[in-house]
Structure 1
Amino acid sequence: MRRSFAFKSTLLVIAWLLLAIACVQIPSRLFWPASFGALTLPLALGLNLAAVGYWLLRSWRVAVLPAAVAFLTWPHFQRGLALHPLRTEPAAQTDRSVRLLSANVRIFNVYAQLREKDPESPGKFIQWLAENPADVLCLQEFYNEPVGSRTGEGRLFRSADKIGQQAGRQVFVSKTLTNGAGAEFGMAIFSRFPIVGRGTISFDRLTQNHAMYADLRLPTGDTIRVYNFHLQSMSMDEKDIVDSYSSKAGLKKKGLGLMRRFKRGLVARSVQVDTLVRRFDRCRYPMLLCADLNDLPYSYTYDQLADRFQNAWATVGNGVGATYNGRLPFVRIDNQFASPQWQIGNFAVHYEIPYSDHFPTSAIYTLSEASSQVPKQPAD
């Protein structure tokens, strides 16, 4: 009887796991409640692995079933918890290698309330980025005060000059707002390789949630395309989230409002990622993607990218790779992706740089020799 119950429970876990994987692939704009089923995927994966261990002790014949499921769904497991304990050191960099850094810089804490803990954080962050050895930097929530702006901050926030020309990099700033004092808000791509093409992709209208790209010419003569994008945020305060699950009163008070914002974010990101995927599918250049997805690895947004590209952390990392610098643990919403032409050398989350609510990420990519056969003109 006990064995029969355990076997039925194993079948239920497998069914739950397969249903959760199906939920990941349903666009939120069509049926947003499926996203809640997708969020249960880590638990279902864990329970299936527990079933493997249980049946190995009881009956290896039965253990074959959850073990086979675990093998087939391992890529989904790696999305949330990467395991590469035997990975060797990457090969030496070549003229086909690209050192890429991505960071949501939170407008360099220009407002006083953002730098209460460390008043010197803007200068420290800008200097760290300027001195970083990365060939290409993709920055979200970028802020710059060009020559002639009237903000009264002097040269502190001349970030485009400091990270760009003064550090030997070309710069492409995608501006979403220029305020009355002349300060610029948006996103930016900095490159030590020549920028030979560029563009901006808006989602209905140009806001801070948009995409940009730069075509870069490597020393080998190959052209690559780097995308930098920032998808719709939840607009949910961290304190509200913590309060909502800390007590029944908090859940009643905050829950409904959080749910509405959660739904809006899910729907918006599903539309935005579908817009981007159509562009990606038309591009014939080798691609590197940097993104503040504002979504978890078990989401439709992440799934659409992971189906087409290598996720750098899932491919070479170890552990959760959390990138959110706040009270919510184990949250990885900042990602880098690479098209199949790239070999990923390493990937790092820079926990030593706490100046934003996101930790910067960096990776090294090497373009395969066969990529030289890629057509020189992109489709889009």
Structure 2
Amino acid sequence: MRRSFAFKSTLLIILWVLAAIACVQVPARTFWPAAFGALTLPVALGFNVGALLYWLLRSWRVAVLPLLVAVLTWPHFQRGLALHPLHVVPPTSAPGQSVGVLSANVRIFNVYPQLRDGGLNSSRKLIEWIATNPADIICLQEFYNEPKATQDGDVFNAVRRIGPEQAREVFVSKTLTNGIGGEFGLAIFSRFPIVHRGTVSFGKLTQNHAMFADVRLPSGDTVRVFNFHLQSMSMEERDIVDSYSSKAGFERKSRGLLARFRRGMVSRSVQIDSLVHRFERSPYPLLLCADLNDLPYSYSYDQLADRYQNAWASIGNGVGATYNGRLPFVRIDNQFVSSEWTIDDVQVHREVPYSDHFPLTARYRLHAPAPSE
């Protein structure tokens, strides 16, 4: 009886895994409840590993079932918990065109009063760290720049500090300019020439959007860099924590959170489909940097992971959490590259705590020539 119950439970776990993977494929604009099923995938994969260990001790024949599922779903497992303990970072002199990339959501460099600290210390340190980073290409979300000195001096002249002062070309895609001339939006900085540029709007009702720059490498190859920020859920961290910390908090917060969660998922599914169509038409190798506002077990992430290499999932170790807050194990910032690239190194910089996102850096080598123009 006990073995029969364990066997039936194993079958239910396998069905759960398969159903959750199916949910990942469903865009929220078509059937938004599927997104909740997708979020259970890491739990289902964990239970399948538990079932595998159980049957390895009980019955090798039955163990084949969860083992087969574990092998077939290993790429999905790696999305949330990357395991590459044997990866060795090659020397920078390894053959191929090497490109260092930094991406980060900089939270407008903490310019708002509620984000500031004494002497604008965190703002200064974050801009300085980014400016002096050796990355060849920098992609920033929630970017802010003040071209002219204000009562804060030139602390927030991020374009000058990260761009010309460090011999980088600059492309800023502005979504808003405030009363003192401060610019909000996205930014790409490059030590290599930017030969073409453009923006992708997600519609008039959102400031989230995408931008791209075609960059000419010293080898003569051209690559296309996309920097994008998908729709947020406009959910305060405190509300999320309160919703699961007590029954009263759940009853008070859950309905509003659910509505915002649904709106965010639907918007992101539309935005990522629009972007994927553009990615697929690119004549050049792709470098994609993004704040997805979505977890690795989401439709948005899946559409990218099915087509491109994720830097962390490919060679990283651990969860690779990029969110700097009370919600644990959250990786919403990612870099993806097309098949022409080899991923040599990737790091989440938890030692840089000046935003609510940790910066992500990676190094790539272009091992196939780009098409000629």
Residue 234 (1) aligns with residue 233 (2): yes
Deviation at 1:95, TM superposition (A): 6.2
Q: What does residue 165 of structure 1 align with?
A: 164
Alignment of 1:194-209 (within 5 A): 194-205=193-204, 207-209=206-208
Distance in 2, matches of 1:69 and 1:321, equals: 24
- Higher deviation after alignment, 53-62 or 73-82: 53-62
Q: What does residue 35 of structure 1 align with?
A: 35
Q: What does residue 6 of structure 1 align with?
A: 6
Q: What does residue 185 of structure 2 align with?
A: 186
Distance in 2, matches of 1:258 and 1:116, equals: 29
Distance in 2, matches of 1:215 and 1:119, equals: 34
Deviation at 1:116, TM superposition (A): 3.5
Judge conservation of contact 1:95–1:218 (CA < 8 Å) in 2: no
Distance in 1, matches of 2:165 and 2:347, equals: 25
Give the letter aligned to residue 257 of structure 1.
G
The alignment partner of 1:123 has SS state of helix
How far does the alpha carbon of each residue in 1:29-84 deviate from its partner, in whole angstroms, 9 at most, with x for none?
A: 00000000000000110111111111111111111111011000000000000001
259 and 58 in structure 1: CA distance in 2 versus 1, 3 angstrom threshold: same
How far does the alpha carbon of each residue in 1:199-253 deviate from its partner, in whole angstroms, 9 at most, with x for none?
A: 0000123843100001000010000001000000010000001111111111111
Judge conservation of contact 2:96–2:366 (CA < 8 Å) in 1: no
Distance in 2, matches of 1:282 and 1:205, equals: 24
Judge conservation of contact 1:95–1:220 (CA < 8 Å) in 2: no
Q: What does residue 65 of structure 2 align with?
A: 65
Structure 2 segments unaligned to the other structure (5+ residues): none
Judge conservation of contact 2:92–2:98 (CA < 8 Å) in 1: no
Q: What does residue 220 of structure 1 align with?
A: 219
Distance in 2, matches of 1:259 and 1:117, equals: 37
Distance in 2, matches of 1:43 and 1:108, equals: 36
How far does the alpha carbon of each residue in 1:295-334 deviate from its partner, in whole angstroms, 9 at most, with x for none?
A: 0000000000000000000000000000000000000000
Distance in 1, matches of 2:88 and 2:226, equals: 28
The alignment partner of 2:29 has SS state of coil
Judge conservation of contact 2:217–2:223 (CA < 8 Å) in 1: yes
Q: % of aligned pairs identical?
A: 70
The alignment partner of 2:264 has SS state of helix
Judge conservation of contact 1:160–1:171 (CA < 8 Å) in 2: yes
Deviation at 1:152, TM superposition (A): 2.2
Deviation at 1:15, TM superposition (A): 0.5
Deviation at 1:91, TM superposition (A): 3.7
Distance in 1, matches of 2:219 and 2:48, equals: 47
Distance in 2, matches of 1:7 and 1:249, equals: 38
Give the letter aligned to residue 73 of structure 2.
T
Distance in 2, matches of 1:118 and 1:90, equals: 41
> Moved runs in structure 1, 4+ residues, more than 3 A?
116-119
Alignment of 1:244-255 (within 5 A): 244-255=243-254
Structure 1 segments unaligned to the other structure (5+ residues): none
Q: What does residue 130 of structure 2 align with?
A: 129
Distance in 2, matches of 1:176 and 1:376, equals: 33
Give the letter aligned to residue 329 of structure 1.
P
Give the letter aligned to residue 65 of structure 1.
L
Deviation at 1:117, TM superposition (A): 7.3
Query: When the two structures are aligned, how many residues end up with a matched partner?
Result: 372
Normalized against structure 2, the TM-score is what? 0.97
Distance in 2, matches of 1:65 and 1:128, equals: 49
Residue 376 (1) aligns with residue 372 (2): yes
Q: What does residue 49 of structure 1 align with?
A: 49
How far does the alpha carbon of each residue in 1:313-363 deviate from its partner, in whole angstroms, 9 at most, with x for none?
A: 000000000000000000000000010110000100000101100000000
